[in-house]
Amino acid sequence: LAVYLLLWPEDGVIRKEDIRRVFDGSIFQQKADEYAEKCARQGRTRKAVVYGKRGY
């Protein structure tokens, strides 16, 4: 279910190549690139994420 929601095919059919990209991890880079392109079109900038920093 999570893979289907991540890919969300327009025609409702998930392709074998899409599933292979999930297993080898390349789908996540593709989705990140799509998100960055979408943000650029809308004039938004991506927020920087800082890991390991806690406000102690």
- In-domain check, residue 29: yes
- How far, in Å, CA of 22 to CA of 30, rounded? 10
- In-domain check, residue 28: yes
- How far, in Å, CA of 48 to CA of 13, rounded? 35
**Total domains in the fold of the chain:** 1
Q: Is the pTM of this model over 0.85?
A: no
- In-domain check, residue 48: no
Residues in the chain, total: 56
- In-domain check, residue 51: no
- In-domain check, residue 55: no
- In-domain check, residue 56: no
Which residue range(s) make up the domain with 35? 2-42
Contact (CB, 8 A) for 25 and 3: no
Q: Which residues contact 16 (CB under 8 A, 6 or more apart)?
A: none
- Averaged pLDDT of the chain: 82
The mean-pLDDT minimum among 29-33, 35-39, 42-46 falls in 42-46
- In-domain check, residue 22: yes
- In-domain check, residue 47: no
